[in-house]
Amino acid sequence: MKDKRARAIEPFVCKKVDSPIGGLVLVGNDDGLNAILWAKDNPRRVRRTIVAEDNRHPVLLETARQLDEYFSGTRHSFDMKLNFIGTAFQKRVWRALLQIPFGETRSYGQIARELGNPRATRAVGAANGKNPIAIIAPCHRLIGASGALTGFAGGLKAKATLLALEKAGRQMRARGRALTRRAATAPRPRRASPRLAPR
């Protein structure tokens, strides 16, 4: 198995897309989606060897399609092959992010406890800051223990926008379910008995 450094220098292609929170750079290869970076991302945060821009690569096209659905409010989960590159601990944190439901949040301490190491709060925060696949591995759903928004590579404004979008989507989905249940339990109107014509 290739180590982290060897895998990071594998050749990747990218596709640039616009979004409601600014420009995004999708990075991947035939092994799957490797990164979603911010247009003004710190190049030292996630180091990748991007050899070309490829607007037709199937992995990147599918990522762009699912992101469009997410931002339009019709997609609440993602379904694609992810190609994480990082340390074993970082990957554990990033996989934990994938388990946070749409429209919900967790604190760094909660993730540390889920990983079996309650004292690893800072390490969780550091791994979260290195998360290469923003939005899909939802690092924006991690907040401070007090509920305050904390550091985010895309900026706190983008983080607040993503959380607001998901909150609205979750509320809309709940209303839809309530209406469906109400319709299913509502009494059906009785059919009027046919009147016999007078002889």
- Go through the domains of the chain in sequence order and give each one's CATH number: 4-143 (1.10.10.10)
**Structure confidence at residue 198 as a pLDDT band (50, 70, 90):** low
- What is d(CA 161, CA 101) in angstroms, rounded to the nearest whole number? 17
Please tell me the number of Cα atoms within 13 Å of 170 on its side-chain side.
Answer: 11
Q: Indicate the helix (H) or strand (E) that contains 114.
A: helix 108-114
Do 28 and 35 contact (CB within 8 A), yes or no? Answer: yes
Query: Global pTM?
Result: 0.83
Give CA–CA dist 176/184, Å, rounded: 12
Instruction: Give the separation between CA 135 and CA 118, rounded to whole angstroms.
Output: 25
What's the confidence (pLDDT) of residue 172?
A: 78
For 92-108, what is the mean pLDDT? 96
Residues 171-177, mean pLDDT to the nearest whole number: 73
pLDDT at 6 over 60: no
- Tens-place pLDDT, residues 125-145: 999 999 999 999 999 999 999
If you write DSSP's letter for every residue of 48-85 in order, what string do you get?
-EEEEE-TT-HHHHHHHHHHHHHHHTS-SS--S-B---
Distances 121 to 86, 148, 178, 186 between C-alpha atoms, Å: 18, 15, 38, 49
Is pLDDT at 72 greater than 80 in this prediction? yes
pLDDT for res 109? 95
* Nearest by Cα to 36 from 87, 101, 72, 80: 80
pLDDT for the residue numbered 112: 97
Q: Give the pLDDT confidence score for residue 44 in this predicted structure.
A: 86
Most confident of 9-13, 94-98, 166-170: 94-98
Tokens of 138: 């939802």
Instruction: Give catalytic residue positions.
Output: 139
- Tokens matching residue 36: 């979603």
Reported as a single tens digit per residue, the pLDDT across 54-69 is 999 999 999 999 999 9
